[in-house]
Amino acid sequence: MIFVTVGTHYQGFERLIRKMDKIAGRIDDEVIMQIGYTTYEPKNAKWFRFLEREEDILELYKKADVIVAHAGAGTLLTALSFGKPIVVVPRLKKFGEHVDDQQLELAEALENMNKAIAVYDIEKLEDAIKKAKLLLKYRPIQRNKKLILFLKSTLRRLEK
């Protein structure tokens, strides 16, 4: 199963959800999407906006073979803690997906640490998912203190 999550940011993530819906129509994997405030409603995958119980969303992370996510720090910390292959698509200001391009920093950092496959061109998403399914298996984040410190410092900076 492929779990797609865009977090709780108030701006939608049309670019990711539309592309993932097209991919879902062509592949055999079950695709479940958390679409948040995205206005587009997928036609080829199961979807929901938000779940009230945190344990329900954690169960989706647990069941997923691959996680496709925006580059939000909280989302990435959760995804990494399950040790699953991650494809990260940063939200970009130029598409109205975020107020700035701070998600690029997290995506690049995870990619440089070989903890995720970052997708900067949405047309390369399907190839990234195939690569994730073949190549990536991670240990839970508890074993990577350097990454935890980086993500925590980024979260503190963003909270200011």
Q: Which of 129, 122, 68, 127 is nearest to 95 (CA)?
A: 122
Higher pLDDT, 158 or 40: 40
Q: How confident is the model at residue 153 (pLDDT cuts 50, 70, 90)?
A: confident
pLDDT of 139 reads 45
CA distance linking residue 148 with residue 117, whole number of Å: 18
Phi, psi of 74 (to 5 degrees): -65, -45
Phi, psi of 36 (to 5 degrees): 55, -130
For residue 90, the enclosing domain spans: 2-159
In the predicted model, is pLDDT for residue 10 greater than 70?
Answer: yes
Residue 139, judged by CB atoms within 10 A of its CB (0-12, 13-18, 19+), counts as exposed
Q: Which of 53, 49, 46, 50 is nearest to 3 (CA)?
A: 46
pLDDT in tens, 54-111: 899 999 999 999 999 999 988 998 998 888 899 999 999 898 889 888 899 999 999 9
pLDDT in tens, 75-85: 998 998 888 89
Phi, psi of 126 (to 5 degrees): -60, -40
What's the number of domains the chain is made of? Answer: 1
In the predicted model, is pLDDT for residue 142 greater than 70?
Answer: no
pLDDT in tens, 126-135: 999 999 988 6
pLDDT of 160 reads 60
CATH code at position 138: 3.40.50.2000
